[in-house]
Amino acid sequence: MLEPDFSDLQFRVEAWNLPDTAIEEILAACTNVLIGKGAFEAAVAMAPHRRILLRHGARVVLRHEPDARK
């Protein structure tokens, strides 16, 4: 059985800790920005209290900040 190659999965949806110092969880990884955006939107809908980023390498494509008032 072949080992999967994840090196081409350039778009990642990540949940970060609130001090913004570390990734808590990689929620999705894909090769297409539109699929990444869909995964980002789903992650935000499921966990609006978490800091969620869609990144392409080091570049932040989309960012969701939790509402501090809640």
pLDDT classification of 18: cutoffs 50, 70, 90: confident
Range of 37's domain? Answer: 1-19+27-70
What tokens does 61 get? 């494509």
Regarding beta strands 51-56 and 11-16, do their DSSP bridges make them parallel or antiparallel, or are they unpaired? antiparallel
What's the total number of domains in the chain?
A: 1
pLDDT tens per residue across span 26-64: 999 999 999 999 999 999 999 999 999 999 999 999 999
Task: Determine phi and psi for 45, rounding to 5 degrees.
Answer: -65, -35
